[in-house]
Amino acid sequence: MAQDTFYDAIVVGTGITGGWAAKELTEKGLKTLVLDRGRDVKHGDYPTATKDLWELPYGGRATDEDLQRQAVTARSGHLTQASKHWFVDDTEHPYTEIQRFDWIRGYHVGGRSIMWGRHCYRWSDIDFGANAQDGIGVDWPVRYAEIAPWYDYVESFIGVSGRAEGLPQLPDGKFLPPMELNCVETHLQQTMADKFQRKLTIGRVAHLTAPLAHSPQRGTCQYRNLCIRGCPYGAYFSSNSSTLPAAEATGNMTLRPNSIVYELIYDDKQRRATGVRVIDTKTNEHLEFNAKVIFLCASTFASTHIMLNSVSPRFPNGFGNDSGELGCNIMDNHLHVGATAVEEGFQDRYYFGNRPNDAYVPRYRNLGGEKRDYVRGFGYQGNASRLGWPRLLLDSPFGAAVKTEAAKPGPWYVKLDGFGEILPNHANRVTLDQTRKDKWGLPLLAFDAQLRENELKMRKDMADDAAEMLEAAGFSDVRTFDREIGVGLGIHEMGTARMGKDPKTSVLNKWNQVHACPNVYVTDGSFMASSACQNPSLTYMAFTARAVDHAVAALKKMSVE
Amino acid sequence: MNRRELLQRVAWLMGGTVATPAVLAVLNGCSRTPGTGAPLVLDEAQRALIAEVAEIIIPRTDTPGAQDVGVPRFIAAMLQDAFSSEEQQSFISGLQDFEMAAQRAHGKLFLQLSQSQRVAFARKLHDDIVAEAKARLKLQRGWRKLEGQSAVPVGELRAVKKRLRAMLGSQAQRPARPFILTMKELTLLGYFTSEVGATQILQYLPVPGRQQGCIPLREAGNGKTWALETSYRF
């Protein structure tokens, strides 16, 4: 098949940010090549989406072979018969763990926008100003006022359900109607407000609780809570259901799956990137594609991998790496720490529909002048639900009583799971492991990152505060938990090509452009200069749309001159 | 109770979580050692015993029982494909222990016992385990309370725990759960993820279409527990 090799723009990756870059570039009239290393997935092409419970083999559980092939994914707890096809075979896509590192990946068109958690929270100036205030990392070169219109823009397009709360640390957005808390969550909300002056709100999630006129292919949420399988209704935002169809509709997109980008081509004379080098995984051919502007949206470590692997006389240490910060400052949200409890009351209350959402407790620590023995803060995602048949395993019902007891909804089980900020630290880094190659001959990534003193101190509060709030609500059997995790398990990886004001200490400028090569934009999580504790995808989307706007204006200016 | 059984009981009692070693290894970030690859072959007597115990755990009443919905076949598939080789071995040795215990108690193979003897025998094993589990839970709750009070002399308890751990070897060698409990887990999983279990015992609604957070139980469909996919690992 003959294929053009010159485009106005190239987008590497089709996940949350690649989809956005593709939509924005093509809608602004640029002929755009969109590359993904994995197989194509069209909206609706979700093989397990409508399977009934009894159609899943093994009661839905991963088999021994699944656990061996997808051992890293299994660490996340997301590996089931309904979801396993969205996650990589870790034996085929290895990486080096200098310290335990949890890199949970999906290699297909749409990327992790199919399996993501869908929570969408704005940052505030408390977050954008934190590095400057604490003297940690580099100052963000932007503030909230500059990003707010882009938050408006992406929220309006993707559809975010939520409730306005008027909190300075968690700005309100353009919300579709909120989902409902259940009785026990509402009780917890009241005691938290009364006794601690802390908020609990319904999660803000990219689900349509009302139709969106501009995306008629997307339906409203049916409350199946089987989102990880892919939504046949298009009710939650994914690249496949939303941005890629929009890009496709322009006629300006060429989507090329099965294409591993392994290098950026740099032209020393023009001082610009002229294109990308690609391995076609079907034919093993090495190909080149050229464009005026390149958007790296391959996911934080994949984009960093490409940059580290793009070595030239101008960039001997990796593309745009004059600062030496490329690959450094790995951040994530640290989690799996909090508390659980049981509530024996509310026996005559239940719920209808499987809410694909949690309750959310916005950050409250180190605000308003409070100073803990750590900086920054954390939020919680949590919920209450009535226990089902698994509670009977270690309980007396045996024989016919198993059926009668299982039919009765059990006591309420309540959980608050923390999501904490990780500070940028130069020593938390990823490098190329030149001693090990993947099956295409590319060096593997080697991860060396850990939770440090600030995060570990914070985790104590994350467990103790949760227990204290659950106790105060009058729940019984309150237990804290603090699971051993690797960095990466939050699946919010970021920071390895951070933006900043000074090219000596950062890789990107405030427009997500590589300081030393302005026609390359990096807009996945790698640009983040700090992590905050809010789920980051909404922020990635806002910066991506803003970066495309900037790139298109810059291209126009160039053609005028 | 022989020494091995005693050790298993104590280990299980002190074990904290009830995840199997392979699952623990995964959750702790270790790569799994691939199994030997030898297929698990159950003989006819073992298959019959498994089917009988499953039916005792969830018998046919006015609604279908474990055998009616194919739980024995489900368990065979789980053993074959979902269990690691060490989990398989542990299951088989648990099954043998179960037979030996029946021999000791009645001088007969389990399947040679009368129906009421079988039920009573399996129920006794189950009830003992549940009693231990509840005792353990109580111990843990007490432990958590003690830990919150610095003045309490917990040193002695810690020393006992340490001695037991040393006696039992490392966590990776910790024996698996008793046979009857694994059987209960597999039977419940197979039954409640079957069409009958999900739709006749529980209530199943593939496309709810709306969400209400807080309603009277009697207005939540037919008021039974919602059948859900569960990633719960015991």
Of B81, B123, B127, the CB nearest to A64: B81
Instruction: Name the average pLDDT for chain A.
Output: 97
Of A64, A354, A395, the CB nearest to B208: A354
Whole-prediction pTM? 0.92
* Residues 6 or more apart in contact with residue A45 via CB below 8 angstroms: A230, A240
Distances (CA, A) of A102 to A62, A198, B56, B191: 18, 32, 42, 34
Contacts of B130 in chain A (CB under 8 A): 394-396
Cα separation of B91 and A55, whole Å? Answer: 26
Of B22, B133, B227, the CB nearest to A53: B227
- Bridge-based pairing state of the strands A517-522 and A286-296: parallel
User: How would you class A2 by CB atoms within 10 Å of its CB: exposed for 0-12, middle for 13-18, buried for 19 or more?
Assistant: exposed
Of A65, A77, A389, the CB nearest to B188: A389
Enter the tokens of residue B42.
């159950």
Q: What local confidence, expressed as pLDDT, does residue B19 receive? A: 34
Determine, for residues A223 and B144 on separate chains, whether the beta-carbon distance falls below 8 Å: no
- A161 — phi, psi (to 5°)? -90, 135
Average pLDDT over residues A304-322: 98
Determine, for residues A393 and B184 on separate chains, whether the beta-carbon distance falls below 8 Å: yes
Of B185, B204, B210, the CB nearest to A393: B185
Enter the tokens of residue A113.
């926008």
* Residues 6 or more apart in contact with residue A413 via CB below 8 angstroms: A340, A341, A342, A343, A384, A385, A386, A387
Cα separation of A552 and A547, whole Å? Answer: 9
Cβ atoms of A461 and A372 within 8 Å: the answer is yes
If one counts every other C-beta atom within 10 angstroms of the C-beta of residue A231, the result is 27
Check residue B199 and report its DSSP letter.
I
* Per-position DSSP letters for A503-527, written without gaps between them: TTT-SB-TTSEETTEEEEEE-SGGG
Closest residue on chain B to A66 (Cα)? B82
Determine, for residues A222 and B207 on separate chains, whether the beta-carbon distance falls below 8 Å: yes
* Residue A181 touches partner B, C-beta closer than 8 Å: yes
How large is the angle between the packed helices A16-27 and A537-560, nearest 10 degrees? Answer: 30
* Residues 6 or more apart in contact with residue A501 via CB below 8 angstroms: A138, A139, A141, A509, A510
Closest residue on chain A to B220 (Cα)? A352
Among B187, B38, B51, B81, residue whose Cα is nearest residue A61: B81
Check residue A104 and report its DSSP letter.
-
Cβ atoms of A239 and A18 within 8 Å: the answer is yes
Question: What is the nearest CA distance from B164 to chain A, expressed in angstroms?
Answer: 23
Of B31, B192, B230, the CB nearest to A406: B192
Determine, for residues A53 and B185 on separate chains, whether the beta-carbon distance falls below 8 Å: no
Distances (CA, A) of A282 to A88, A259, A286, A510, B205: 17, 8, 11, 38, 42
Determine, for residues B211 and A183 on separate chains, whether the beta-carbon distance falls below 8 Å: no
Contacts of B83 in chain A (CB under 8 A): 64
Enter the tokens of residue A523.
């807009």
Enter the tokens of residue A140.
């963000």
Contacts of A396 in chain B (CB under 8 A): 127, 130
Among B228, B229, B71, residue whose Cα is nearest residue A82: B229
Enter the tokens of residue A175.
């919300």
Residue A382, H or E segment: strand A378-386
Contacts of A226 in chain B (CB under 8 A): 229
Enter the tokens of residue A436.
């090990």
Half-sphere exposure of A311 toward its Cβ, with a 13 Å CA cutoff? Answer: 6
Each residue's pLDDT tens digit, A354-373: 999 999 999 999 999 999 99
Contacts of A57 in chain B (CB under 8 A): 77
Q: What local confidence, expressed as pLDDT, does residue B176 receive? A: 58
A residues 393-412 lying closer than 8 A (beta carbon) to B: 393-396, 398-400, 402-403, 406-410
Closest residue on chain B to A356 (Cα)? B211
User: What own/partner pairs with CB < 8 Å and gap ≥ 24 does A274-281 have?
Assistant: A275/A5, A275/A10, A276/A10, A276/A12, A276/A35, A276/A306, A278/A35, A279/A440, A281/A37, A281/A440
End-to-end Cα distance, chain B: 25
Each residue's pLDDT tens digit, A224-283: 999 999 999 999 999 999 999 999 999 999 999 999 999 999 999 999 999 999 999 999
Distances (CA, A) of A507 to A138, A298, A333, A521, B95: 11, 16, 22, 11, 61
Cβ atoms of A520 and A273 within 8 Å: the answer is yes
Of B18, B209, B224, the CB nearest to A222: B209
End-to-end Cα distance, chain A: 37
Interface test with A, best of B200, B204, B214, B228 (most A CBs within 10 A): B214
How large is the angle between the packed helices A183-196 and A453-472, nearest 10 degrees? Answer: 110
Question: What is the nearest CA distance from A231 to chain B, expressed in angstroms?
Answer: 12
* Residue A60 touches partner B, C-beta closer than 8 Å: yes
In the chain, the amino acid numbered A167 is L
Interface test with A, best of B52, B80, B193 (most A CBs within 10 A): B193
Each residue's pLDDT tens digit, A516-559: 999 999 999 999 999 999 999 999 999 999 999 999 999 999 87
Cβ atoms of B202 and B58 within 8 Å: the answer is no
- Interface size, chain A vs chain B, as Cβ–Cβ contacts under 8 Å: 207
Determine, for residues A58 and B81 on separate chains, whether the beta-carbon distance falls below 8 Å: yes
Q: What local confidence, expressed as pLDDT, does residue A131 receive? A: 98
E-strand stretches of A268-308: 272-280, 286-296
Three-state SS at B16: coil
* Residue A373 touches partner B, C-beta closer than 8 Å: no
Enter the tokens of residue B58.
């969830």
Q: What local confidence, expressed as pLDDT, does residue B146 receive? A: 58
- Bridge-based pairing state of the strands A160-161 and A175-176: parallel
Output the tens digit of pLDDT for each of chain B's 234 residues: 444 444 444 444 444 333 333 333 333 443 334 444 567 789 999 999 999 999 999 999 999 999 999 999 999 999 999 999 999 999 999 999 999 999 999 999 999 999 999 999 999 999 999 998 888 877 777 666 655 544 444 555 565 566 555 544 444 444 557 999 999 999 999 999 999 999 999 999 999 999 999 999 999 999 999 999 876 655
Among A278, A279, A238, A256, residue whose Cα is nearest residue A110: A238
Find how far residue B221's CA is from the centre of its chain: 30
Closest residue on chain A to B25 (Cα)? A75
Interface test with B, best of A402, A405, A412 (most B CBs within 10 A): A402
E-strand stretches of A153-284: 160-161, 175-176, 201-202, 253-256, 259-267, 272-280
Instruction: Return the HEC string of A38-86.
Output: CECCCCCCCCCCCCCHHHCHHHHECCHHHHHHCHHHHHCCCCECCCHHH
Cα separation of B179 and B10, whole Å? Answer: 15
Interface test with A, best of B229, B232, B234 (most A CBs within 10 A): B229
Cα separation of B203 and B196, whole Å? Answer: 10
Of B61, B82, B193, the CB nearest to A400: B61
Q: What local confidence, expressed as pLDDT, does residue B137 receive? A: 78
Each residue's pLDDT tens digit, A74-99: 999 999 999 999 999 999 999 999 99
Report the C-alpha dihedral over residues A491, A333, A200, A124, rounded to 10 degrees.
-110
For residue A495, pLDDT over 70 is answered with: yes
Determine, for residues B216 and A350 on separate chains, whether the beta-carbon distance falls below 8 Å: yes
Of A77, A351, A355, the CB nearest to B215: A351
Q: What local confidence, expressed as pLDDT, does residue B41 receive? A: 82
Determine, for residues A399 and B123 on separate chains, whether the beta-carbon distance falls below 8 Å: yes
* Residues 6 or more apart in contact with residue B22 via CB below 8 angstroms: A64, A67, B32, B84, B86, B87
For the complex shown, is ipTM > 0.90?
yes
Of B123, B206, B214, the CB nearest to A183: B214
Question: What is the nearest CA distance from A182 to chain B, expressed in angstroms?
Answer: 4
Q: Count how many residues are written for chain A.
A: 561
Question: What is the nearest CA distance from A423 to chain B, expressed in angstroms?
Answer: 23
* Residue A172 touches partner B, C-beta closer than 8 Å: no
Of B130, B220, B233, the CB nearest to A395: B130
Q: Give the pLDDT band (50/70/90) at residue A414.
A: very high
Residue A192, H or E segment: helix A183-196
Interface test with B, best of A83, A350, A470 (most B CBs within 10 A): A350
Cα separation of A482 and A418, whole Å? Answer: 10
User: How would you class B81 by CB atoms within 10 Å of its CB: exposed for 0-12, middle for 13-18, buried for 19 or more?
Assistant: middle
Average pLDDT over residues A135-164: 98
